[in-house]
């Protein structure tokens, strides 16, 4: 099933954030139907830096390719601003499609961009964003590759302006709308009332962000088709890793932390070591 066909369902799609082959495999094994690769997660994990436009298109594409090699699930990838003008956005579409992405999320911030839940963002004109959307649509190689149009206008121009921009992006050819960082439940409801039934809607849940944390069932009732939890895994593993390193430094041993870790055999089971060895053995030269 493609991501495009899955969005024909009335059931909301929950897409957890991943940032490498291991997290993609774990999320796949947990039973999810799609995954989300954010620029923030790549900045956090590959660079150890904040989400302020530091991740490059090539770093994102490399990460996407590794994830696609590890899981059959469709992946929504953060394309940031398209990394430039409309022609850059077209190139980003081609590169990310080749890397295995099922959907590209494009936003209307100026470059360098920053996390949607940080202050002091700036935007490009709505007409320029519409041109990028149209350019990406012309460049895609597969009809099933989706364009998710994100606007960050709530924090910059206000809620009404964000709705107006979303209308413009729908007309320009977006396949999914993502109005970033609604600040109240009422704003979430208004988004659903205006757009549900016309185009799939995406909601972003960020722990400690601007949007009230809302469960998938509730968002489905409000008309949303996709909910992403892009950075949750990094926050969870980051806190666990901090505790792990502190424990090892204090104790000189992993023994006090053992009940919070996979042992050697446990991790090998999760990553399918024996299955890979057995598969390789089938191709070994015989006699």
Would you say residue 206 has pLDDT above 80?
A: yes
So what's the pLDDT on residue 39? 93
Distance CA 262, CA 57 (A): 33
Would you say residue 119 has pLDDT above 90?
A: no
So what's the pLDDT on residue 118? 60
So what's the pLDDT on residue 116? 54
Domains of the chain (ranges; CATH) run 3-231 (3.20.20.60), 238-281 (no CATH)
pLDDT, tens only, 80-110: 999 999 999 999 999 999 999 999 999 999 8
Q: Give the helix/strand (H/E) hosting 275.
A: helix 273-281
Whole-Å CA distances, 61 to 42, 79, 109, 261: 11, 10, 20, 30
Would you say residue 127 has pLDDT above 60?
A: yes
Residues whose CB falls within 8 Å of the CB of residue 177, separated by 6 or more in sequence, listed in order = 148, 149, 166, 169, 170, 195, 199, 200, 201, 202
So what's the pLDDT on residue 114? 60
Would you say residue 193 has pLDDT above 80?
A: yes
Dump strand ranges (E) for the chain. 13-18, 35-37, 75-78, 103-107, 146-151, 176-179, 201-204, 226-229
Q: Which long-range contacts (CB under 8 A, 24 or more apart) does 241-250 make?
A: none
Q: Given pLDDT bands bounded at 50, 70 and 90, which one contains residue 117? A: low
So what's the pLDDT on residue 256? 97
Nearest to 55 by CA among 79, 88, 89: 79
pLDDT, tens only, 233-286: 999 999 999 999 999 999 999 999 999 999 999 999 999 999 999 999 999 877
So what's the pLDDT on residue 111? 75
pLDDT, tens only, 146-192: 999 999 999 999 999 999 999 999 999 999 999 999 999 999 999 99
pLDDT, tens only, 26-70: 999 999 999 999 999 999 999 999 988 888 999 999 999 999 999
Distance CA 245, CA 233 (A): 18
Q: Share the mean pLDDT of the chain.
A: 95
Q: Given pLDDT bands bounded at 50, 70 and 90, which one contains residue 208? A: confident
Would you say residue 120 has pLDDT above 70?
A: no
Whole-Å CA distances, 169 to 90, 148, 163, 220, 223: 16, 9, 10, 22, 18
Sign of CA dihedral 25, 29, 30, 33: positive
Cα 107 → chain centroid: 13
Q: Give the helix/strand (H/E) hosting 130.
A: helix 126-139
So what's the pLDDT on residue 24? 98
Nearest to 225 by CA among 235, 214, 237, 216: 216
């Amino acid at each position: 099933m493609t991501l495009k066909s899955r969005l024909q369902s009335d059931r909301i799609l929950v897409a957890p954030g991943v940032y490498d082959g291991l997290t993609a495999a774990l999320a796949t094994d947990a039973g999810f139907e799609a995954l989300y690769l954010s620029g923030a997660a790549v900045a956090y994990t590959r660079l150890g830096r904040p989400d302020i436009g530091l991740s490059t298109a090539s770093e994102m594409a490399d990460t996407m390719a590794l994830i696609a090699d590890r899981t059959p699930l469709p992946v929504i990838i953060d394309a940031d601003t398209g990394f430039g003008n409309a022609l850059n956005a077209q190139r980003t579409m081609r590169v990310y499609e080749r890397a295995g992405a099922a959907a590209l999320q494009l936003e209307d911030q100026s470059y360098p961009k920053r996390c949607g839940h940080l202050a002091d963002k700036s935007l490009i004109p709505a007409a320029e964003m519409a041109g990028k959307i149209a350019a990406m649509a012309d460049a895609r190689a597969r009809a099933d590759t989706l364009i998710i149009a994100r606007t960050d206008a709530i924090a910059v121009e206000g809620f009404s302006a964000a709705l107006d921009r979303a209308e413009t992006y729908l007309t320009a050819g977006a396949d999914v709308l993502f109005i970033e960082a609604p600040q109240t439940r009422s704003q979430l409801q208004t988004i659903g009332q205006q757009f549900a039934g016309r185009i799939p809607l995406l909601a972003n849940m960020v722990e400690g962000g601007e949007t009230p944390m809302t469960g998938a069932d509730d968002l489905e009732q409000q008309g949303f088709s996709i909910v992403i939890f892009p950075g949750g895994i990094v926050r969870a593993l980051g806190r666990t890793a901090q505790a792990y390193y502190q424990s090892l430094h204090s104790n000189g041993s992993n023994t006090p932390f053992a009940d919070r870790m996979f042992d050697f055999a446990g991790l090998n089971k999760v990553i399918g070591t024996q299955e890979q060895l057995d598969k390789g053995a089938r191709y070994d030269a015989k006699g």
